[in-house]
Amino acid sequence: MIQKSQAIKNNAQNVTDYPNNNTFFLTWVFKTDVEKSHIIDGFKRICALVINLNHSSQNRFPDRKASCVMGIGYDAWKYLNLPNPLPKELKTFQEIKGNKHTAVATGGDIQFHIRSDEKSYAYDMAAEISSFMAPIADCTVEVQGFRYWDSRSILGFVDGTENPHGDAREYFAVIDEQDPTCKGGSYLFVQKYIHNLKAWNDLPIHDQEKVIGRSKANDIEMTDAEKPKNSHSALANVGDDLKVVRDNMPFGNVASNEMGTFFICYASTFSTVEKMLNQMFIGNPAGNYDRILDFSTAVTGALFFVPSMDMLDKFSG
């Protein structure tokens, strides 16, 4: 495997950090009744704030795995007249519609991904960001994720088993030669899924395992002969040379029974993510869609570009 230089790794935002105990996902859309000059000024301030928050967390709480990642949408990139060339694969995400299920497109201008093992610090970072963003944008998605047992989704299965580890995380998540003008950046794709837990829990465990393609208790993948062609593990995996770094987290409100998974991935090429989504929602072949979608509905979908730290610093000026 080709390894990226240490300089590119150090210049990237914290896209390859591992999931931890507490996460905030925040999607913002610029206000239409605020002057463009005010939005541009606010954007510069938020870029500086993200740099500050990450430096501060490393100094104050080095063992809390705290970080804040910021992504920028296509429309926002154009609106802000950002000085760097447009990333090659950054675009407005368009819905992917299969015969039965749809990967909806809901958009967004700025996306924040906040992590910390200390919930109080994750909250403080989210609050600081919100105080800076509120005058120039509206928050359209706010999800507080949490670690559920040994990194399981609320459906009860381990989530992210196929994630790359070690140097492979940078290789698949951080741009290098794919787009020389955007080295150290990353594509960020997010979806909020709501689970139909009643329907899911009505399934016998044996049938649940067929939907996922793994054993529920021990997270052991089925053999190719055992695994259904429409299982999640069969369709969400598009090849060992086409991987992404996932950082999914469960969320929800128990009393209202709105429980789900916030899907988030970082990739050096968005085309890899598109291939995965096409297989899941349209099917491979067409019609053989991901069976998990019968129990988990995507209610948001948006693509962003995560600038390198150097790019963020340039944008803040």
Is a pLDDT exceeding 70 seen at residue 9?
no
- Asked whether residue 129 is domain-assigned, the answer is yes
Q: Which of 3-7, 164-168, 267-271 has the lowest mean pLDDT?
A: 3-7
Tokens 């709480």 -> residue: 61
pLDDT digits (tens, 9 = 90+) for 64-97: 899 999 999 999 999 999 987 899 999 999 999 9
Residue 270: per-residue pLDDT:
97
- Asked whether residue 1 is domain-assigned, the answer is no
CB contact at 8 A, 264 and 248:
yes
Neighbours of 185 (CB within 10 A): 32
Percentage above 90 pLDDT, the chain:
89
pLDDT digits (tens, 9 = 90+) for 126-169: 999 999 999 999 999 999 999 999 999 999 999 999 999 999 99
Helix (H, G, I), strand (E, B) or coil at 79: helix
DSSP state of 187: E
Neighbours of 31 (CB within 10 A): 15
Task: For residue 201, give both structure tokens.
Answer: 């829990």
pLDDT digits (tens, 9 = 90+) for 51-67: 999 999 988 988 889 99
Neighbours of 147 (CB within 10 A): 15
CA distance linking residue 288 with residue 248, whole number of Å? 24
Among the listed residues 159, 176, 247, 290, the single catalytic one is 159
- Asked whether residue 298 is domain-assigned, the answer is yes
Task: For residue 36, give both structure tokens.
Answer: 């463009």
CB contact at 8 A, 265 and 172:
no
Overall number of domains in the chain: 1
31 residue type, one letter: K
Q: At what angle do helices 36-60 and 119-133 cross, to 10 degrees?
A: 160
- Asked whether residue 46 is domain-assigned, the answer is yes
CA distance linking residue 102 with residue 26, whole number of Å? 22
Whether the model pTM is above 0.85:
yes
Helix (H, G, I), strand (E, B) or coil at 258: strand
- Is residue 159 annotated as part of the catalytic site, yes or no? yes
Query: How far from 281 is each of 19, 108, 236, 265, 294, CA to CA, in Å?
Result: 26, 22, 10, 17, 11
- Asked whether residue 212 is domain-assigned, the answer is yes
Residue 4: per-residue pLDDT:
58
Sequence-separated (6 or more) residues with CB below 8 Å from residue 189: 93, 263, 264, 265, 267, 270, 273, 301, 302, 303, 304
* Domain encompassing residue 224: 6-316
CA distance linking residue 273 with residue 253, whole number of Å? 29
Paired strand residues for 113: 25, 69
Structural Rg of the chain based on CA atoms: 19
CA distance linking residue 173 with residue 81, whole number of Å? 25
Residue 314: per-residue pLDDT:
96
Helix (H, G, I), strand (E, B) or coil at 200: helix
181 conformational bin, left if phi > 0, alpha if psi -120 to 50, beta if neither: alpha
CB contact at 8 A, 266 and 186:
yes
